[in-house]
Amino acid sequence: MDRFKVSLWLLVLLQAAVSAASLVVEIVAGRLLAPYVGMSLYTWTSVIAVVLAGFSLGHWIGGRLAERAGRAALTATGWALLAAALTTALAIFLLRLLAGPVLQGVDHPVWGIAILSFLVFSLPSTFAGIPAPVLAKIAVESGDRPGQALGAIFAAGAVGAIAGTLLAGFLFISWLGSSLTLALVTVIYVLAALICLQLARSRLIWALLAMAVALALAGSALALPNPCTVESRYFCLRSVDVSASPDHPARLMVIDHLAHGISSRDAPQVQFTEHAAMLAALSHIRSERPDFSTFFIGGGSYSIPRAFALKNTGARVVAEIDPEVTAMAIRDFWFDPETATILHEDARQALKTRPQRYDIIVGDAFTDVAVPAHLVTREFFELVQSRLSPGGSFLMNVIDYEGRLLALASVARTLSEVFPEIEIWTNTTPPAPGARVVFVIAAGDTTSEASRVTVPAPDQTEFGAIAPGWVSKLIAEKGTVLTDDYAPIDRLVGRPD
């Protein structure tokens, strides 16, 4: 057998670097998918499952390669790392090429997320999983203490994975962006491949060509237009000009894959989305005085706080977890930060740590399949109730699908366990079968004085409270109480089967 000695420390560093790079790809995968499918439980479940499946297949292939003579196995590992570099560099191109056809061709969004994740990220993970068994075998054969050598390789893999996860989440994505982060991973794979081929004394002519192709692809990916105006620590943010006329500018804020608000410079009182129009109108309808105080769960484009400031309502507090969202609202959506107290932290934590009470609390964090589960539970609603002034109201938007309405029923049922009165408001025009429908739930001690309201959204639109009997029936038949221990809101939101 062709046995040769390689420094254990070099093998440990190789394994740590490859493991770190592979976990960076896993974290970046979620961010790359976000502009197309959002950042939800389904996104991360799909990414993690695909990456682990790729690692498993790669380890099996690597085990077969490890049965070869040392230099031959290391040569094959070098080529596997080049394949990892090439497929990583291609990931952005593949995602942009396949996202549209896959998501349009698959009816269920969850299956679309899973299939897209597999097509784009399975091969980089598979090739990245190949080196571990080969490096472990060479480490065992190169030293006098095989047990310690094997343990060192396993530990290096774990430490590298931890380092890659932390670097991607806390440093690379927010400072370098997704494209440059993947380019860096490509470079790491190329360098690791070069070391393996050098150790195996392999001819490098074709390998150098493959390296050049991988690096060229990574560089080309950097030249592609970034789908995000800003990549923050939390979201892919886009600011889109939707002006009908350059003399009257209007902009749309997109967070990940969903529109979160539209603002017009010259029509600050107009809410351009149905949920914002209902939330703003109901705040005024349910308030006992014009100078009511408001706490906003989520800022988005800050359209409602901006409108309320111009109407001289009372104190306005906004809990927006992402500072970049606020910065974009100030820069592109004509929001004056001096008109509100802004808390850049999770809304639940903000309410929990501050005893102030508010006349209106507005929940605007429900975004299709990406729903913060901790903001729809009974325990959270109890916290909200404790922060309302006497006679105050909690208003919350909910998105669901006609013909299903499991999420709407469950949120309403959970709220009904905390508040004496709840109402469900929506557009009075009947939706098409299976259509995506926007609702606002109003909860408090009393019902609203009006059951209909017509406001611009941006065209004059009538919204109304659904009949109480229908609401009671919906809650009884389809509602599930959501708690901190059990809140399957991701499963409840979805199109009818």
Going through 242-340 in order, the beta strands assigned E by DSSP cover 250-255, 258-264, 294-297, 316-319
State the pLDDT at residue 249: 95
Q: Are residues 387 and 261 part of one domain?
A: yes
Give CA–CA dist 127/349, Å, rounded. Answer: 42
Cβ count near 236 (within 10 Å): 25
In a domain, 400, yes or no: yes
Q: Are residues 27 and 121 part of one domain?
A: yes
Least confident of 216-230, 371-385, 396-410, 455-469: 216-230
Residues 464/428, Cβ–Cβ less than 8 Å: yes
Q: Are residues 276 and 145 part of one domain?
A: no
Residues 357/314, Cβ–Cβ less than 8 Å: no
In a domain, 497, yes or no: no
Predicted confidence (pLDDT) at residue 4 exceeds the cutoff of 70: no
369 confidence band (pLDDT: 50, 70, 90): low
The count of structural domains within the chain is 2
Give CA–CA dist 453/272, Å, rounded. Answer: 16
Instruction: Please enumerate in sequence order all residues whose Cβ is within 8 A of that of 108, keeping only pairs 6 or more positions apart, or say none.
Output: 494, 495
Least confident of 41-50, 87-96, 415-424: 41-50
370 confidence band (pLDDT: 50, 70, 90): low
Q: Are residues 264 and 168 part of one domain?
A: no
Question: Residue 104: which region, alpha, beta or left (left: phi > 0; alpha: psi -120 to 50)?
Answer: alpha
Predicted confidence (pLDDT) at residue 433 exceeds the cutoff of 80: yes
Range of the domain at 416: 236-492
Q: Are residues 281 and 138 part of one domain?
A: no
Give CA–CA dist 390/382, Å, rounded. Answer: 14
State the pLDDT at residue 185: 95
Name the residue among 407, 439, 400 with its Cα closest to residue 423: 439
What tens digit of pLDDT does each residue of 273-321 get?
999 999 999 999 999 899 999 999 999 899 999 999 999 999 999 999 9
Residues 285/464, Cβ–Cβ less than 8 Å: no
Q: Are residues 256 and 157 part of one domain?
A: no
496 confidence band (pLDDT: 50, 70, 90): low
Average pLDDT, the chain: 91
Q: Are residues 244 and 219 part of one domain?
A: no
**Residue 367 phi, psi (nearest 5):** -130, 75
* CATH number of the domain encompassing residue 270: 3.40.50.150
226 confidence band (pLDDT: 50, 70, 90): confident
What is the distance of C-alpha 45 from the center of its chain? 12
3 confidence band (pLDDT: 50, 70, 90): low
- Taking residues 391-412, what's their average pLDDT? 93
What tens digit of pLDDT does each residue of 102-132 get?
988 887 778 888 999 999 999 999 999 999 9
Q: Are residues 215 and 125 part of one domain?
A: yes
In a domain, 69, yes or no: yes
Residues 411/444, Cβ–Cβ less than 8 Å: no
Predicted confidence (pLDDT) at residue 357 exceeds the cutoff of 50: yes
Least confident of 2-6, 94-98, 119-123: 2-6
Predicted confidence (pLDDT) at residue 43 exceeds the cutoff of 50: yes
Count, in order, helices (H) and strands (E) of the chain. 17, 13
234 confidence band (pLDDT: 50, 70, 90): confident
Predicted confidence (pLDDT) at residue 352 exceeds the cutoff of 50: yes
Helices marked H in 333-371 — which ranges?
Answer: 347-352
Question: Residue 256: which region, alpha, beta or left (left: phi > 0; alpha: psi -120 to 50)?
Answer: left
For residues 423-456, b (16+ Cβ closer than 10 Å) or e, as one string? bbbbbeeeeeeeeebbbbbbbbeeebeeeebebe
Looking at 195, 227, 259, the residue that finishes a domain is 227
Q: Are residues 241 and 194 part of one domain?
A: no
State the pLDDT at residue 1: 40
* CATH number of the domain encompassing residue 51: 1.20.1250.20
345 confidence band (pLDDT: 50, 70, 90): very high
Looking at 227, 261, 278, the residue that finishes a domain is 227
Looking at 227, 251, 271, the residue that finishes a domain is 227
Q: Are residues 442 and 332 part of one domain?
A: yes
State the DSSP string of 201-225.
Answer: T---HHHHHHHHHHHHHHHHHHHSP
In a domain, 1, yes or no: no
**Statement: the pTM of the whole predicted model exceeds 0.75:** yes
What tens digit of pLDDT does each residue of 153-194 get?
999 999 999 999 999 988 888 888 889 999 999 999 999 999
Question: For the chain, what percent of residues have pLDDT higher than 90?
Answer: 71
Q: Are residues 267 and 191 part of one domain?
A: no
- Taking residues 360-381, what's their average pLDDT? 85
Give CA–CA dist 372/379, Å, rounded. Answer: 14
For residues 196-208, b (16+ Cβ closer than 10 Å) or e, as one string? bbebbebeeeebe
